[in-house]
Amino acid sequence: MIVFWFLLIALVVVVAAVTLAVVGGGSEAVLPDSEPDRVADGLPENRPVVRADVDALRLPVAPRGYRMAEVDDVLERLAAELAERDARIAELSASAARAVDLGKAGQ
């Protein structure tokens, strides 16, 4: 019977010690504060983003970070869509310029 009480008290002491170690047991925290969720992405602020900007973009990796393969897939898709958009805009701009030139020539 004495062994039972001894083991019970020892178990309570061990559980309390582990709990204090995990929780912090005082003003000192076990886990450090995480870094803020701000990324200095390096994308230009004074001009439109182009494909080369997205190709050069590298997001930081953290222990509680992201799945790199998924983000890389998204960035590749974004870069391709931006390139396609830019090509279409250039095509439409050239077409509009030709139409204006033809309009001026017909006057």
What is the per-residue pLDDT across 14-42, written as a single tens digit (0 to 9) for each? 998 888 777 765 555 556 665 555 555 66
Mean pLDDT of 6-15: 93
In this prediction, residue 91 has a pLDDT band, given cuts at 50, 70 and 90, of: very high
Tell which wins on pLDDT, 102 or 38. Answer: 102
Q: Quickly tell me which residue has 């139409």 as its tokens.
A: 99
pLDDT at 105 > cutoff 70: yes
Cα dist. 62→34, 37, 39, 74 in Å?
Answer: 10, 11, 12, 19
Which pLDDT value is given to residue 36?
53
Which pLDDT value is given to residue 33?
63
pLDDT tens digit string along 46-89? Answer: 877 788 888 887 776 767 677 777 778 778 878 888 898 999 99
Alpha helices by DSSP H, listed for the chain, are 2-23, 51-56, 68-105
